[in-house]
Structure 1
Amino acid sequence: MAKVAVLGAGSWGTALSIVLADNGHDVRLWTHRAEQAEEINETHRNNKYLDADLPEGIKASSDLEASVKGSEAVVFVVPTKAIREVAKKVDPFLEKEAIVIHATKGIEPKTMKRVSEMLNEELENYEYKEIIVLSGPSHAEEVAQRQPTTVTVSSLQIEHAVRAQNLFFNESFRVYTSNDIVGIELGGALKNIIALGAGVSDGLGYGDNAKAALITRGLAEIARLGTSLGANPLTFLGLPGVGDLIVTCTSVHSRNWRAGNLLGKGDKLEAVLEQMGMVVEGVRTTEAAYELARRQNIEMPIVDAIHQLLFEKRDAAEIVQQLMTRTKREEMDDFASILRKDQGK
């Protein structure tokens, strides 16, 4: 079986390591904290991030070179803000034939780059078309319990996606392939913004009607921006689109939902992020998506509202009222325009 380096020992990196170890692979789980690596190796637990016993096939290390050298696959699962730094350090140790996969859901503020674009810029020996993204509706807690989960792997070179599919596929972790890397990444990143909004809605005490509307209209916003950037609109009806949106907007496992819920109850952003103890990707992604929408001249009222809440200190209840009293319009106009853009390619 393959030697696989998983970079990032948070909840999702640990869960993916479990899948790989279950498949018989030799897994090197890298963390920048030596004490965390020691805990994992001695107790086969990663208690701060995931309540699960870890297979013997997972060996943790804080030595990046030792983790990556000789690996047939390298999986980036560090937060978006750490992608460039880790990629630069990893680059000298990557084997020429290794495949590079990332499972990080975010967009870089200021540059507005997707993670695959960031990796392409920092990894000298890898072309953009070779990079693989793994995304889909997948809570780490359920993956660790071997509950049925389905995800998608995407690359412009389908043979690379198939290699990743073969690495991860098993009876509880079903993996599909796609070549729409833009759509897969944007669906996984942008849904975190809508999940913040869903949490806010619940925190304010609103019911299922409000959340269903938020999810549906949020999907329209994601598809509008995604297709303007070259994504296939049908991708947003699949696992990395509506599937990931549903699971992230409706579950207490979701960091973004939990953060939004606290914001809806009146907590300040700084206090919420400190309380979460883990990265809430939706916050940084909101900043990036807000600017992307303006650059692309795309209307995204929900993203605008979340941006006002996070960065302009607006009141959550006032923002909901603002959304509810927008100008009247025809619902199908959005979806018709998305389809027209796709047919015009």
Structure 2
Amino acid sequence: PSQSLRKNIGAISSYVSASTIIVSASKGLESTSGMRMTEIIKEEIPDLSPDNICALSGPNLSNEILAGKPSSSVICSINLTTAKSAQSILNCSHLRLYTNTDVIGVEICGALKNITAIAAGICDGLNLGDNAKASIITRGL
């Protein structure tokens, strides 16, 4: 999804007003530019206020959220009021959203956690045990 965000945002940009709140759930950096997802949104929709761009990051497996399994994530924006507004819309009984204003930190950590997740999966695949996997996760934190 992160590699197609620019195209997808471009397709909806004419329908977005300056006051629209956009929440990106894509994690990663664009491979061609190295840009974060919120940077791409701002570049593709220049009339959109940067205050109205949010990033959602955390363990967001959509099939588990749809199944009602408990989860938590962070929703961030440079504007705390915007983050809280998105939080109030998206919070539900099984998804707890925390707010934050460190958009760069949240997006970079969201991208880097994928590396740790892959390494943890390798531990599972090689049957290295829980200690090895916990060591990888601990180092990734």
TM-score (norm 2): 0.91
Q: In 2, Cα distance between the equivalents of 1:205 and 1:176?
A: 34
* Residues in 1 aligned to 2:111 and 2:126: alpha-carbon distance in whole angstroms: 24
Partner of 1:166: 88
Please state how far the C-alpha of 1:96 moved relative to its aligned partner.
3.2
In structure 1, C-alpha distance between the alignment counterparts of 2:8 and 2:106, rounded to whole Å: 22
Deviations 1:263-313 (A, max 9, x none): xxxxxxxxxxxxxxxxxxxxxxxxxxxxxxxxxxxxxxxxxxxxxxxxxxx
Distance in structure 1 (CA, Å) of the matches to 2:112 and 2:106: 10
Q: Does structure 2 conserve the Cα–Cα contact (< 8 Å) formed by 1:147 and 1:172? A: yes
Match of 1:197 in 2: 119
Q: Look up the match of 1:210.
A: 132
Q: State the 1:148 CA deviation.
A: 2.0
Gap regions ≥5 residues in structure 2: none
* Aligned counterpart for 1:123 among listed residues 31, 45, 67: 45
Separation in 1, partners of 2:129, 2:97:
33
Where 1:151 maps in the other structure, the secondary structure is strand
Distance 1:128 1:89 in 2: 19
Higher Rg:
1
- 1:195 Cα offset (Å): 1.0
Give 1:204's aligned amino acid: L
* Residue identity opposite 2:19 in structure 1: E
Return the alpha-carbon distance in structure 1 between the equivalents of residues 72 and 78 of structure 2.
Answer: 20
Query: Which residue is 1:86 aligned to?
Result: 8
AA at the equivalent of 1:141: N
* Alignment of structure 1 residues 140-289 onto 2, 5 Å: 140-219=62-141
User: Which amino acid is the alignment partner of residue 131 of structure 1?
Assistant: I
Q: RMSD in angstroms over aligned alpha carbons?
A: 1.5
Are the equivalent residues in 1 in contact too, given 2:16–2:48 (CA < 8 A)?
no
- Are 2:28 and 2:110, in contact at CA under 8 Å, matched by a contact in 1? yes
In the alignment, structure 1 segments of 5+ residues that lack a partner are 1-78, 220-345
- CA–CA distance in 1 between the matches of 2:135 and 2:94? 31
Structure 1 residue 122, shift from structure 2 partner: 0.9
Distance (whole Å) between structure 2 residues aligned to residue 147 and residue 196 of structure 1 = 22
Alignment of 1:7-86 (within 5 A): 79-86=1-8
What amino acid does structure 2 have at the position aligned with 1:162? K
Residue 150 of structure 1 and its aligned partner are, at CA, apart by 1.5
Give me the whole-angstrom Cα distance separating, in 2, the residues matched to 1:154 and 1:216.
24
The amino acid that maps onto 1:217 is: R
Report 1 or 2 for greater relative contact order, CA contacts < 8 Å, sequence distance ≥ 6: 2
The alignment covers a number of residue pairs equal to: 141
Q: Partner letter of residue 69 of structure 2?
A: Q
Output one character per residue of 1:19-75: Cα deviation in whole Å (capped at 9) or x when no partner: xxxxxxxxxxxxxxxxxxxxxxxxxxxxxxxxxxxxxxxxxxxxxxxxxxxxxxxxx
